[in-house]
Structures are given as C-alpha cells and as structure tokens.
Amino acid sequence: QVQLVESGGGLVQAGASLRLSCVASGRTFSSYAMGWWRQAPEKEREFIASIRGDGGGPVYADSVKGRITISRDNAKNTLYLQIDSLQPDDTAVYYCAQYRMTLPIAVPDFWGQGTQVTVLL
C-alpha cells in the first residue's frame, strides 16, 4: 500500500522560504515520477511541479517558476519542494503525489494528506 506523508508546512511571513518534504513508502520510489500540487481556499487543486523517477526533467508551473525547486532523494524515498520568496497567494494546502510510471504522465495515482502553508503579509 502506497503512503505519502508530507511535512514542512507552517505559518510564515511574506518573503520567507520553506522546504516541504514527502516521504513515500509501499513501492520502489525511484520507479515512479513524483509531483507537487496545491489547493488554495475555494480554488481547484493546481499542478506546481513534477520530477521523473530518476530525478531528472523537472517541470514547473508558470505561476511559480523561478521561485520553486523540486528534487528527490531516492535513497531516502523522499521528495522535496523548496519555495522561496513566499507570498500570501502561496497560501494553500500542498500535496505530494506519485504517478503510475517513471514519467509524470496523466493524473497521479496516489496522493498524500497535504501540509498547510500560510503566508502572512
């Protein structure tokens, strides 16, 4: 059974940085692409970033490009998201997700419970 557990969210001031983590278990981590999504209050869940199973080919949404970095440590079964220059518009629940293959194609198969990020002016 696949489990994805996010951590690292919190309450921060605008301009701060955060690094979110997601620990995966249940199947061979390096065989699957991973991604980060977020959902703000009263908005639909939106894609932020994805990364191949081998750690290459990062893809970023235009809305956050330049401020975020996705990475993974396959030896630790962990996915990361570094977010810099946080703004109030970044306030959302951040979810990690695992795709069905090594490339981030289609909708992810599995989702974590999410970690809340709140950014204050």
What was the pLDDT predicted at 106?
85
Percent of the chain surpassing pLDDT 90: 95
Work out the average pLDDT over 19-34: 97
* Region for 106 from its dihedrals, namely left if φ exceeds 0, alpha if ψ lies in -120 to 50, beta otherwise: left
How do residues 57-88 score in pLDDT, each as one tens digit?
A: 999 999 999 999 999 999 999 999 999 999 99
Phi, psi dihedral angles at 31 (to 5 degrees): -85, -5
- The amino acid at residue 62 is D
How do residues 54-63 score in pLDDT, each as one tens digit?
A: 999 999 999 9
One-character DSSP codes across 13-80: ETT--EEEEEEEESS-GGGS-EEEEEE-TTS--EEEEEE-TTS---EE-TTTTTTEEEEEETTTTEEE
Structure tokens at 64: 């956050």
The rounded distance, in Å, linking the Cα atoms of 9 and 43 is 19
